[in-house]
Amino acid sequence: MTIESAFHCNEAAALQKQELEELIGHRDDTDHREGCAASMESQITEQEISELVDRFYAKVRLDPEIGPIFNETVEDWDYHLRLLKDFWSTVLLGTGRYKGSPPVAHFKLPIEDKHFERWLTLFEKTADEVMRPLHAGLVAERARHIGENMKRVLLYRSM
């Protein structure tokens, strides 16, 4: 099952999907609902997302390069982790639980290209550790798209 199929399994996520598509850098108008029931067993699970987010941000908090940015910014880690689980659930499963704007949330942070690279490296390694290879690959692909689009948006800070 593809990520696109997972999105189409949840009609309520349509508007949120459209908003996030710009950030994610992908659009697919194909109707995938017919294959949803047959491919549910290969779908990324909420448990996988939760474990990915928890383990990844445990690493981030200790990382000498990006840890200080997160640790100085995040005031309530429990809330932040719930928010990120909602974000990835929306991106990967189309649940529509995430209602924020990632570019707005990151606009004032002192993030540079090197920070995106480090974030992505840690994220991909963590996905490989906690997910099946197909799922880890799909999640890493989405993370790369999101990172590239976030870099483009944040470029406007200096203009």
Write down the CATH superfamily of domain 3-158. Answer: Globins (1.10.490.10)
Structure tokens at 50: 């939760």
Query: What's the pLDDT tens digit per position in 136-146?
Result: 999 999 999 99
Pairwise CA distance, residues 26 & 10, whole Å: 17
**Structure confidence at residue 111 (pLDDT):** 85
- Cα 138 to Cα 135: distance, rounded to the nearest angstrom: 5
Contacting residues for 102 by C-beta, under 8 A, at least 6 apart: 23, 87, 146, 150
Instruction: Say which DSSP state 8 is in.
Output: H
pTM, to two decimals: 0.74
| Per-residue model confidence as pLDDT tens digits over 28-54 | 443 444 444 334 447 899 999 999 999
**Structure token pair of residue 137:** 């690959």
Q: Where are the domains of the chain?
A: 3-158
Please answer whether residues 55 and 125 qualify as being in contact, where contact means their C-beta atoms are separated by less than 8 angstroms.
Answer: no
Give pLDDT, residue 41: 42
Q: For residues 39 and 118, what is the distance between their CA atoms, to the nearest angstrom?
A: 33
Q: How far is CA 106 from CA 111, 112, 158, in A?
A: 8, 11, 14
**Gap between the Cα atoms of 113 and 148, Å rounded:** 9
Q: What is the pLDDT of residues 97-125, one digit of tens each?
A: 999 888 778 878 888 889 999 999 999 99
Min mean pLDDT across 2-6, 10-14, 53-57 is at 10-14
* pLDDT tens digits, 60-95: 999 999 999 999 999 999 999 999 999 999 999 999
